[in-house]
């Protein structure tokens, strides 16, 4: 991948704030042409700098009883391949929301989401623990999400300024 | 007490109306037109406002923490009248690094309660009854009323969209009389977004010299210029001694609620202002001074990020107003666009009121800012991109509807 330009960084900063911002608006804000903005976005999509335009959902608002858990997993790395192939066999499960290789007391952190406690438990015992390289797992259920990806979930008064001022 | 005396004291000698107690000068000044518009806006729900004259950023966290830390350490006493020496030192360093100004922290600086107090101090320190104070308009509203309160007479100088609302040599010359004593300069300008370059300043400085004027230069928006660096009037050849430089932390560092500003000038003028300052407010709030010190020491990068963000939104709003069918000169400073609404055939007041009632968008009618403001609308772009695009859509539809009628 070639280095990211200053211009691309500015485009990214705006998209990170609002992925639905139109290229025309970004172009005006950055004093650039729409073509330049579109090209920059296309290049970053191609390079997987921009991975996906997803929606951050506060599921608790939907009276949805989804259960999320963080699982600490200790594994034995494979000769010659390290953690990557085992990681892949874990992240290919659609239940897995995120997967990180960690430094410290354990190796992988798995975030999984299920419709019920039972479903999560069964994923751990039937799918995760049965992988040969997995030595141990510790499962922590998430009770409440306050903030995700830099976005605060609680609704707070966002603008406390007076409506009109000198 | 004898019976006779108690009877006497129970008889009212004379009844004054409460308003008879008032100083005639106070009675004379009118409440701000912004206030009137604010009351109107407050009655409505779901308004998108372009009427706010302050940053939409919260004060950077590290600046807030510095104030909290100062409280935790028990720094809750008065500071020296002119402000903490280390803060005055930091202000002088900052002015030198950013605008090539050389002030002595010992006797040429006062830390004030916002730029507002500095303006009040300056006018009270220099005006005698009958003195004329020249104010290029449209302008920030308080200059004229405070001049009146100080016993002076404010003389507006109209500036025009065709000149990008710059003060021109001709209009300044026309306004000068033998009683002229003070020229108030406020660039970058609230409400027009106009700025003055070095070349624009030179003839103004010449006239100031010729007519032996003193200048109050309100440079509160100095950091908010786009595409060029602000030129302080005080940095012009020969102008330092004639300039009372007013600035503060509100706009550059998103610190409006802290009420912290400063004023720099000739030691004789500063000493006079310090007398008023020490009798009226003693000193600026201590915790706010610690916050300001942090802002100047570690907050300049954060400030640059905020300026870049204003610039992006400035382009958006100017383009949007053009697309909506309103003429708008390119504002090069502050965070206001000042489009003309003359093509709609409405007055500023009518336009602003109908825009509010029919499109639920608030913006301040230009006429409240004095001469030359009629026919314009102040649109603050210190608000989110989502609000701006929605407001511009609504203005576009509103203007289209007006022009169909």
- Tens-digit pLDDT profile for residues B41-77: 988 989 999 999 999 999 999 999 999 999 999 999 9
SS (H, E, C) B354-378: HHHHHHCEECEEHHHHCCCCCCEEE
Of B253, B120, B138, B115, residue with least CA distance to B192: B138
Contact B51 A159 (CB under 8 A): no
A2: confidence class by pLDDT, cuts 50, 70, 90: low
Contact A29 B49 (CB under 8 A): no
User: What CATH number does domain B29-58+301-404 carry, 3.90.1150.10, 3.40.50.2300, 3.40.1350.10, 3.30.420.340?
Assistant: 3.90.1150.10
CATH 3.90.1150.10 intervals, chain B: 29-58+301-404
Hunting for tokens 């605060």 — which residue is that? A152
Average pLDDT rounded to a whole number, residues A112-131: 93
Of B251, B260, B329, residue with least CA distance to B111: B260
DSSP code string of B8-43: HHHS-S----GGGGS-HHHHHSPPPHHHHHHHHHHT
- Tens-digit pLDDT profile for residues B280-300: 999 999 999 999 999 999 999
Q: Positive or negative CA dihedral for B193, B197, B203, B209?
A: positive
- Tens-digit pLDDT profile for residues B213-258: 999 999 999 999 999 999 999 999 999 999 999 999 999 999 999 9
Centroid of chain to Cα A44: 18
Supply the pTM of this predicted model. 0.89
Average pLDDT rounded to a whole number, residues A121-133: 93
B118: confidence class by pLDDT, cuts 50, 70, 90: very high
Q: Where are the beta strands (DSSP E) in B76-115?
A: 109-112
- Rounded distance between C-alpha atoms, residue B402 and residue B405, angstroms: 5
B339: confidence class by pLDDT, cuts 50, 70, 90: very high
* Predicted complex ipTM: 0.82
Token pair, residue A151, equals 């976005």
CATH 1.10.10 intervals, chain A: 6-46
Q: Is the peptide bond before B188 cis (omega within 30 degrees of 0)?
A: yes
Per-residue pLDDT at A154: 79
Per-residue pLDDT at B3: 53
Contact B49 A164 (CB under 8 A): yes
- In this structure, are residues B287 and B83 in contact, taking their beta carbons and an 8 Å threshold? no
Mean pLDDT across chain B: 95
B173: confidence class by pLDDT, cuts 50, 70, 90: very high
Q: What is the number of CB-based contacts under 8 A between chain A and chain B?
A: 59
Give percent of chain A above pLDDT 90.
Answer: 70
Per-residue pLDDT at A59: 81
Compute how many other C-beta atoms are within 10 angstroms of the C-beta atom of residue A85: 12
CATH 3.40.640.10 intervals, chain B: 61-298
Per-residue pLDDT at B188: 98
- Residues with Cβ within 8 Å of B300's Cβ and at least 6 positions away in sequence, in order, are none
Centroid of chain to Cα B77: 29
Q: Which of A151-160, B371-380, B387-396 has the lowest mean pLDDT?
A: A151-160
CATH 3.30.70.920 intervals, chain A: 62-143
Residue A82: strand pairing partners: A78
Ordered strands of the A134-141 beta sheet? A96-101, A108-114, A67-75, A134-141
Mean pLDDT across chain A: 91
- Residues with Cβ within 8 Å of B128's Cβ and at least 6 positions away in sequence, in order, are B151, B152
A4: confidence class by pLDDT, cuts 50, 70, 90: confident
Instruction: Give, for B398, the enclosing helix (H) or strand (E).
Output: helix B385-404
Inter-CA distances, B135 with B54, B176, B182, Å: 22, 11, 9
Per-residue pLDDT at B9: 59
Which of B41, B54, B315 is the best residue to mutate to test the A interface, defined by the most A CB atoms within 10 Å of its own CB? B315
Of B96, B91, B127, B94, residue with least CA distance to B110: B91
B109: left (phi over 0), alpha (psi -120 to 50) or beta: beta
Contact B41 A163 (CB under 8 A): yes
Q: Which of B38, B383, B386 is closest, CB to CB, to A164?
A: B38
Instruction: State the pairing for strand pair B336-337/B377-380.
Output: antiparallel
| Level-2 CATH architecture, domain A62-143 | 2-Layer Sandwich (3.30)
Provide the 8-state DSSP code for B250: T
Average pLDDT rounded to a whole number, residues B248-273: 98
Of B399, B398, B394, B382, residue with least CA distance to B331: B382
**What are the chain A neighbours of B332 within 8 Å (beta carbons)?**
none
- In this structure, are residues B43 and B36 in contact, taking their beta carbons and an 8 Å threshold? no
Compute how many other C-beta atoms are within 10 angstroms of the C-beta atom of residue A16: 12
Contact A17 B385 (CB under 8 A): yes
> Higher model confidence: residue B17 or residue B114?
B114
Per-residue pLDDT at B7: 52
The answer to whether residue B93 scores a pLDDT higher than 70 is yes
Q: Which of B40-44, B94-98, B145-149, B382-386 has the lowest mean pLDDT?
A: B40-44
**What are the chain A neighbours of B316 within 8 Å (beta carbons)?**
25, 28-29
Q: What would the CATH number be for the domain defined by B61-298?
A: 3.40.640.10
The answer to whether residue A63 scores a pLDDT higher than 60 is yes
The answer to whether residue B6 scores a pLDDT higher than 60 is no
Contact A166 B386 (CB under 8 A): no
- In this structure, are residues B167 and B139 in contact, taking their beta carbons and an 8 Å threshold? no
Hunting for tokens 């320190």 — which residue is that? B125
Q: Which of B10-19, B245-254, B285-294, B369-378 has the lowest mean pLDDT?
A: B10-19
The answer to whether residue B1 scores a pLDDT higher than 80 is no
A159: confidence class by pLDDT, cuts 50, 70, 90: confident
Burial of B350-387, coded b for 16+ CB within 10 Å and e otherwise, reads: ebbeebbeebbbbbbbbbbbbbbbbbbbbbbbbbebeb
Q: What would the CATH number be for the domain defined by A6-46?
A: 1.10.10
The answer to whether residue B128 scores a pLDDT higher than 60 is yes
B386 touches chain A (CB under 8 A): yes
The answer to whether residue B30 scores a pLDDT higher than 90 is no
Contact A164 B51 (CB under 8 A): yes
The answer to whether residue A1 scores a pLDDT higher than 50 is no
Average pLDDT rounded to a whole number, residues A54-79: 87
Per-residue pLDDT at A64: 74
The answer to whether residue B5 scores a pLDDT higher than 60 is no
């Amino acid at each position: 991948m070639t280095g990211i330009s200053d211009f691309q960084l500015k485009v990214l900063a705006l998209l990170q704030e609002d992925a639905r911002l139109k290229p025309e608006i970004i172009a005006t804000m950055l004093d650039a042409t729409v073509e330049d903005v579109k090209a920059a976005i296309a290049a970053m999509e191609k390079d997987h700098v921009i991975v996906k335009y997803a929606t951050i959902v506060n599921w608790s608002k939907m009276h949805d009883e989804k259960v999320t858990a963080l699982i600490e997993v200790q594994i034995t790395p494979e000769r010659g391949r390290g953690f990557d192939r085992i990681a892949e066999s874990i992240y290919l499960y659609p239940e897995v929301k995120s997967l990180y290789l960690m430094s410290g007391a354990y190796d992988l952190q798995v975030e999984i989401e299920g419709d019920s406690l039972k479903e999560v438990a069964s994923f751990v015992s039937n799918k995760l623990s049965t992988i040969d390289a997995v030595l141990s797992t510790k499962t922590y259920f998430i009770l409440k999400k306050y903030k995700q990806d830099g976005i605060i979930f609680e609704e707070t008064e966002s603008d406390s300024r007076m409506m009109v001022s000198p | 007490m004898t019976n006779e005396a108690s009877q006497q004291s129970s008889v009212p000698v004379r009844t004054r109306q409460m308003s008879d107690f008032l100083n005639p000068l106070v009675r004379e000044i009118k409440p701000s037109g912004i206030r009137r518009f604010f009351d109107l806006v407050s009655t409505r729900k779901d308004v998108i406002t372009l009427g706010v004259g302050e940053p939409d950023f919260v004060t950077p966290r590290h600046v807030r923490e510095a104030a909290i830390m100062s409280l935790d350490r028990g720094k809750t006493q008065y500071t020296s009248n002119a402000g903490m020496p280390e803060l005055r030192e930091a202000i002088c360093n900052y002015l030198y690094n950013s605008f090539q100004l050389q002030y002595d922290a010992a006797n040429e600086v006062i830390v004030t309660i916002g730029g507002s107090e500095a303006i009040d101090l300056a006018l009270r320190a220099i005006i005698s009854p009958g003195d004329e104070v020249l104010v290029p308009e449209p302008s920030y509203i308080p200059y004229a009323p405070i001049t009146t309160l100080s016993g002076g007479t404010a003389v507006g100088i109209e500036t025009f969209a065709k000149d990008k609302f710059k003060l021109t040599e001709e209009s300044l010359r026309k306004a000068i009389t033998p009683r002229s004593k003070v020229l108030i300069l406020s660039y970058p300008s609230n409400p027009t977004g106009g700025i003055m370059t070095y070349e624009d300043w030179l003839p103004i400085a010449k006239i100031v010299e010729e007519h032996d004027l003193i200048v109050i230069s309100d440079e509160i928006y100095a950091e908010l210029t786009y595409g060029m660096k602000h030129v302080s009037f005080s940095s012009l050849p020969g102008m330092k001694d004639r300039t009372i430089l007013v600035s503060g932390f509100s706009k550059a560092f998103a610190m409006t609620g802290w009420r912290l500003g400063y004023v720099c000038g000739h030691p004789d003028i500063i000493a006079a202002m310090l007398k008023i300052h020490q009798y009226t407010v003693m000193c600026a709030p201590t915790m706010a001074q610690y916050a300001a010190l942090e802002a100047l020491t570690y907050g300049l990068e954060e400030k640059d990020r905020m300026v870049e963000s204003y610039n992006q939104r400035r382009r958006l709003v100017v383009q949007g107003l053009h697309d909506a069918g309103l003429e708008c000169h390119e504002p090069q400073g502050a965070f206001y666009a000042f489009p003309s609404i003359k093509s709609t055939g409405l007055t500023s007041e009518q336009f602003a009121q109908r825009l509010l009632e029919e499109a639920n968008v608030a913006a301040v009618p230009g006429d409240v800012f004095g001469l030359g403001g009629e026919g314009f609308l102040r649109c603050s772009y210190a608000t989110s991109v989502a609000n701006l695009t929605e407001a511009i859509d609504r203005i576009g539809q509103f203007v289209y509807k007006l022009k169909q009628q």
